[in-house]
Amino acid sequence: MKINIVESNLERIVIVGGGFAGLMLAKKLAKANYQIVLLDKNNYHQFQPLFYQVAMAGLEPSSIAFPLRKFFQGNRNVFIRVTEVTAIEPENKRLQTPLGIVNYDHLVIATGADTNFFGNAALAAKALPMKSVSEALYLRNRILDDYEKTLSITDMEERQGYIDIVIVGGGPTGVEIAGSLAEMRKYILPKDYPEMNCEEIEIILIQSGDQLLKGMSDEAAKKALEFLQKLDVKVILNNRVTSYDGEIVTMKDGTTIRSRKVIWAAGIHGAIFKGFPADAIGPGNRLKIDHNCRVLGLENVYALGDVALMSGDEKFPEGHPQVAQVAMQMGKYLADAFIRKQKGKPVGTFAYRDLGSMATIGRNKAVVDLPWFSFQGFFAWLVWLFVHLFQLLGVRNKVMVFINWLWNYITYDQSLRLMIRPHVPPKEEKSE
Ligand SMILES: Cc1cc2nc3c(=O)[nH]c(=O)nc-3n(C[C@H](O)[C@H](O)[C@H](O)COP(=O)(O)OP(=O)(O)OC[C@H]3O[C@@H](n4cnc5c(N)ncnc54)[C@H](O)[C@@H]3O)c2cc1C
């Protein structure tokens, strides 16, 4: 059965994924001479860089998510369907989804990345990932729930397992979570839980390499470590987690840590679905693309953003970093290429303009690497705030996030510590 989308005489571009890349592409093509079909498993765009603030009860999920339909209000050429693509049939130029078959003239895969547990099923079952708003919310509930439970636990060892938190992965996400948790321990928990000795809470960050923030400058890595240590985060370098059973974390050197919460920020891999030829799939489960963003070996199929792997760039020969700027620039490039092609104009190749990278480690503390220089501390933190606020979609979201940040900054408090769990209706009892 075909999905119900009006057939038009315009060429149809199907975009899978309304993240940074897909949304940019759809936005730039919304008024072009193509029929745009945007498929996403969610009805909203998510701003992943601020997930950790949702998890740490600093922001509401609605402040960092934006409804796709609102974004394209009034665009008659854009057709949105909320569904998960399960397979591609390149020979028939169509996709499979639970809603039905979707035909394409041109197909753009912008599905981003999923958490990579490196095939470790035990870790996948017990560690807490943070790749979606729902996972960030789940983490927020777990943290708050465990502190509530702690108050009733008398066994010291068991109690320690509830209050300590392990974060695996010393990239920007791991560093930002660790800094944020350390501030929560310092400023918020002592006020909320006067019965608890919050100094007993250990926050442990484990990084397999010999420095944090791999890919950023040495100064940024050193400063991030210094900031975290000042906040009393225990940073373990050159070690990796090999297993976790929900209670005990075991590391490569045999050391163990007791913790009921292991936050997994240690790796991602391309979020692809069935049907791609093996030759098109590269390291990290990413789709290999040429310098025009075309998936190798497939006709009229493109890939953008985290899921795409373009080799041979002068600065990034092994592929671009999986960050929002790459995704957005690829989206812009491809939109321009489609428009130029239709007008019979020549199309150049994609060139990434590296605008730098940054991470925040808490109040007044951040590290920023620009292409020409690096800086850290208060000014870097202001830059981090401004850039993230500017990139958020929607005026309402910008205002809400700004007010929240201002309030948190002035009061040293966050006001969103509610444990809201989804309602599960009771099962109907079978009559005899
Ligand atoms: C916690 C965290 C913090 C980050 N912090 C930063 C940061 O500070 N700076 C930075 O530059 N980058 C950061 N990143 C990385 C950045 O978010 C990604 O590089 C960016 O989102 C990639 O954009 P994308 O469009 O490729 O994919 P995404 O933005 O992930 O979008 C993919 C979309 O595809 C949809 N989708 C996936 N599979 C399917 C399917 N089968 N069918 C239908 N829809 C599907 C998803 O629902 C999603 O909407 C962070 C990432 C995370 C997880």
Domain holding 326: CATH number? 3.50.50.60
Q: Is residue 190 part of a domain?
A: yes
**pLDDT tops 90 at residue 271:** yes
Q: How far apart are CA 338 and CA 331, in angstroms?
A: 11
What's the mean pLDDT in 9-35? 97
Q: Which of 110, 115, 105, 129 is nearest to 273 (CA)?
A: 110
Q: How far apart are CA 21 and CA 84, in angstroms?
A: 17
Domain ranges, residue 130: 121-266
Region of 152 (left: φ > 0; alpha: ψ -120 to 50; beta: rest) is: alpha
**pLDDT tops 90 at residue 212:** yes
Q: Among 40-44, 46-50, 345-349, 413-417, where is mean pLDDT lowest?
A: 413-417
**pLDDT tops 60 at residue 432:** no
Q: Is residue 430 part of a domain?
A: no
pLDDT at 58: 85
Q: Among 41-45, 250-254, 306-310, 313-317, where is mean pLDDT lowest?
A: 313-317
Residues 153 and 253 in one domain: yes
Q: Is residue 370 part of a domain?
A: no
Q: Among 86-90, 113-117, 139-143, 204-208, where is mean pLDDT lowest?
A: 139-143
What's the mean pLDDT in 69-94? 96
CATH code assigned at 216: 3.50.50.100
pLDDT tens track for 84-128 = 999 999 999 999 999 999 999 999 999 999 999 999 998 999 999
**In angstroms, how far is CA 185 from the centroid of its own chain?**
24
Q: How far apart are CA 51 and CA 49, in angstroms?
A: 6
Q: How far apart are CA 330 and CA 351, in angstroms?
A: 9
DSSP 147: H
Distance 307 CA to ligand 1 centre (A): 9
Which amino acid would we find at residue 261?
K
pLDDT at 360: 95
Domain count, the chain: 2
SS3 assignment, position 122: helix
Q: Single out the catalytic residue among 91, 176, 314, 429.
A: 176
Residues 157 and 197 in one domain: yes
SS3 assignment, position 268: strand
Mean pLDDT in the chain? 93
For 353, counting Cβ atoms within 10 Å of its Cβ (0-12 exposed, 13-18 middle, 19+ buried), the class is: exposed
Residues 259 and 317 in one domain: no
pTM tops 0.85: yes
Please name the residue whose Cα sits nearest to atom 31 of ligand 1: 19
Residues 106 and 133 in one domain: no
Which residues have a Cβ under 8 Å from the Cβ of 389 and sit 6 or more positions away?
398, 401, 402
Q: Is residue 182 part of a domain?
A: yes
Residues 125 and 247 in one domain: yes
Which amino acid would we find at residue 90?
P
Residues 299 and 320 in one domain: yes
Region of 84 (left: φ > 0; alpha: ψ -120 to 50; beta: rest) is: beta
The answer to whether 135 is a known catalytic residue is no
Q: Among 148-152, 389-393, 420-424, where is mean pLDDT lowest?
A: 420-424
pLDDT tens track for 288-301 = 999 999 999 999 99
**pLDDT tops 80 at residue 421:** no
**pLDDT tops 90 at residue 59:** no
Cα dist. 201→19, 50, 362 in Å? 36, 24, 18
For 370, counting Cβ atoms within 10 Å of its Cβ (0-12 exposed, 13-18 middle, 19+ buried), the class is: middle
Distance 48 CA to ligand 1 centre (A): 6
Q: How far apart are CA 195 and CA 198, in angstroms?
A: 9
What's the mean pLDDT in 247-262? 94
**pLDDT tops 90 at residue 426:** no
Residues 155 and 260 in one domain: yes
pLDDT at 259: 94
Please name the residue whose Cα sits nearest to atom 7 of ligand 1: 49
Residues 258 and 139 in one domain: yes
Q: Is residue 61 part of a domain?
A: yes
Q: How far apart are CA 53 and CA 191, in angstroms?
A: 19
Residues 241 and 252 in one domain: yes
Side-by-side strand order, sheet with 203-206: 234-236, 203-206, 165-168, 261-264
Which two structure tokens, joined as six digits, stand for 2? 């075909």
Last residue of a domain, one of 342, 366, 388: 342
Which two structure tokens, joined as six digits, stand for 156? 């010291």
Q: Is residue 144 part of a domain?
A: yes
Q: Report the nearest atom of ligand 1 relative to the CA of 326.
A: 19
Residues 83 and 166 in one domain: no
Last residue of a domain, one of 231, 266, 301: 266
**pLDDT tops 70 at residue 430:** no
pLDDT tens track for 225-237 = 999 999 999 999 9
Q: Are 357 and 176 in contact (CB under 8 A)?
A: no
Q: To test ligand 1's pocket by mutation, which of 37, 48, 276, 307 has the most ligand atoms within 8 angstroms of CB?
A: 48
Q: How far apart are CA 185 and CA 197, in angstroms?
A: 10
Residues with CB under 6 A from ligand 1: 16-22, 39-42, 48-49, 51-52, 84-85, 110-112, 130-131, 172-173, 271, 273, 305-307, 322-325, 327
Q: Is residue 308 part of a domain?
A: yes
Reported as a pLDDT band with limits 50, 70 and 90, residue 418 is confident
Which two structure tokens, joined as six digits, stand for 49? 């860089």
Last residue of a domain, one of 232, 266, 300: 266
Q: How far apart are CA 384 and CA 172, in angstroms?
A: 12
Residues 134 and 54 in one domain: no
Residues 292 and 253 in one domain: no
Q: Is residue 368 part of a domain?
A: no
Distance 350 CA to ligand 1 centre (A): 20
Which two structure tokens, joined as six digits, stand for 227? 């900031």
Reported as a pLDDT band with limits 50, 70 and 90, residue 419 is confident
pLDDT at 204: 97
